[in-house]
Copies of this chain bind each other. A is one copy, B any other.
């Protein structure tokens, strides 16, 4: 039993280093085996130490969801950065500043209007932005459909406008809604073929398209082939979570992030133990509520991280969580988890839970603990 976990204040975000390293190695091996570069999405952790471990394992460059992430990681020496959210015109000055300071920032657009704004701003400032076109391969969110005529128009606006048309990018985020290997493999193939097709259309039109970037944690792990793709992206795989467990791409024992909590009281008649991990610690994410296995606000584990089957965080207020057994009330709850008992809770969604904390506590197998900062805000 690691002693540090009995003295750390709660709630606290714990990383199992051994599990994290295993998850990092697994995804890197997948990218290596499929012959593509791997560019992790750092929005999951916003943590320099985690990203260092990903780069150490072979990741080339990073993906970010905000320019603050780009600023922070560029300040830490990462220069190859893809900003994978559609470029808002008012952020072009910020992007230009990063590029002029030596950051190889790539930006994204999915409309003629957006491409024109980039080209106009670039021309005005004598700068050729590196731009990817976002492709929609699953109807999930943003992007241009591979066969849409607008694709070539956007490519031409960028290319003729003097920008560097760097490639195409897609994210099959609807993979989070699946839960069978067949469906995941099919979606991975749909993601690949859609993005490769878009690249081919651009090239056939005489436009450059070097990068073909795809990925989401489930499709990245399910892909059987990435022919025509040049790089893979994924974020949550580094920690995994209960949503990913339900999607079927990890086991509970692979989940590297948990929230350390203390029992602060009970409602014995109801079979409740009250803990100090409420939604402020876990986040309000209820991603498992629509999946085949609903974990409430999280799976309860012992202090050493072993899941206690049937015990979930069934309710959450801001700084109060309710631990209870599924089904009939546990009439022994007070004896089972006396006040002061420490538990760990596996989260529904590692990106959302991590964001609630100013730092992680990284726990090694020998019980030693390191504090790793993470940043917050925009």
A contact set with B: CB distance below 8 Å:
7, 9-12, 43, 65-66, 85-91, 94, 109-111, 113-114, 117, 136, 141-142, 173, 262-267, 274, 276, 279-281, 283-286, 317-320, 322, 338-340, 349, 351-352, 355-359, 376-378
Given contacts A117-B340, A359-B377, 20 further A-B contacts (CB under 8 A): A9-B94, A9-B378, A10-B88, A10-B90, A65-B319, A85-B276, A85-B320, A87-B264, A88-B262, A89-B339, A110-B265, A111-B339, A117-B339, A141-B267, A142-B267, A142-B274, A142-B320, A280-B355, A284-B349, A284-B352
Q: Quick check: B378 and A11 within 8 Å, CB to CB?
A: yes
- A9, B377: Cα distance in complex, Å: 11
Q: Quick check: B43 and A318 within 8 Å, CB to CB?
A: yes
A374 CB, nearest partner CB in chain B, Å:
10
Q: Quick check: B141 and A86 within 8 Å, CB to CB?
A: no
A369 CB, nearest partner CB in chain B, Å:
16
| A66, A142, A318, A351: residue with the most chain B Cβ atoms closer than 10 Å | A318
CB within 8 Å for A356 and B355 given contacts A85-B264, A262-B90: yes
11 intermolecular pairs with C-beta atoms under 8 Å apart: A12-B378, A85-B264, A85-B276, A86-B265, A88-B264, A110-B265, A114-B339, A136-B267, A281-B378, A355-B356, A359-B377
A269 CB, nearest partner CB in chain B, Å:
9
Nearest B residue to A276 via CB reads: B88
Q: Quick check: A88 and B340 within 8 Å, CB to CB?
A: yes
- A274, B136: Cα distance in complex, Å: 13
* A111 partner, pick from B87, B265, B286, B356, beta carbons under 8 A: B265
| A89, A173, A274: residue with the most chain B Cβ atoms closer than 10 Å | A274
- A141, B276: Cα distance in complex, Å: 12
Nearest B residue to A280 via CB reads: B355
- A376, B13: Cα distance in complex, Å: 14
- A351, B356: Cα distance in complex, Å: 13
Nearest B residue to A65 via CB reads: B319
